Amino acid sequence: MNSRFFHYLSYLKYAFYAWGCVTALPELVRRSEHVLENIGFGVFLVGMGLALEGFQDSRLTAREIRQFRQARWFRRTILFSTVSFCLAVVVAVFLFLAGLVYPEMSAALYAKIREVGYGALAIGVGGLSMTRQKYDRFVTFQRQEPGPGSE
């Protein structure tokens, strides 16, 4: 496949972000009977949008080149992304196991909470995709940038 196809496919992320916000944000203002389903689906859509970030091409922008020259910035970014991924997975596992933690919970409520868990898991996978993409871009930068003392 052509890499431009995947790059253009990555622009679908904006549709997922918008759809997720339109689905989840109104539930924070008005409380309906489907609040957990809508928030869970909105979070899932945002996670799918994050996963589509990984389809961007690996050409570096001038801003990224400036940032990658500061190794401290890159380490912080990777650390933040990794911690975010781990936190999202922990939250998803907790939500999946909520029925065991709270056995008096009704089956209908547990199904709704599990939907939010799927959204948290999608956010985690999307964050992992973004971390991988950032690492690939950094490797591309290291190949392009001459090392110290190479002049």
User: For the chain, which residues make up each domain, given as ranges?
Assistant: 3-144
Q: What is the pLDDT of residue 31?
A: 76
**pLDDT, mean of residues 38-58:** 84
Residue 30 clears pLDDT 90, i.e. is over it: no
CB atoms within 10 A of CB 149: 5
Q: What is the pLDDT of residue 109?
A: 87
Q: What is the pLDDT of residue 19?
A: 93
**pLDDT, mean of residues 104-118:** 87
Residue 139 clears pLDDT 70, i.e. is over it: yes
- Model confidence band, residue 135 (pLDDT cutoffs 50, 70, 90): confident
The two most distant CA atoms of the chain are separated, in Å, by: 70
Q: What is the DSSP string of 87-142?
A: HHHHHHHHHHTHHHH-TTS-HHHHHHHHHHHHHHHHHHHHHHHHHHHHHHHHHHHH
Higher pLDDT, 116 or 31: 116
Q: Identify which of 88, 93, 75 has the alpha carbon closest to the alpha carbon of residue 126.
A: 88
Q: Identify which of 88, 86, 144 has the alpha carbon closest to the alpha carbon of residue 120.
A: 88
The mean of the pLDDT values for the chain is: 83
Residue 149 clears pLDDT 50, i.e. is over it: no
92: which residues sit within 8 A by CB, 6+ positions away?
Answer: 117, 118, 120, 121, 124
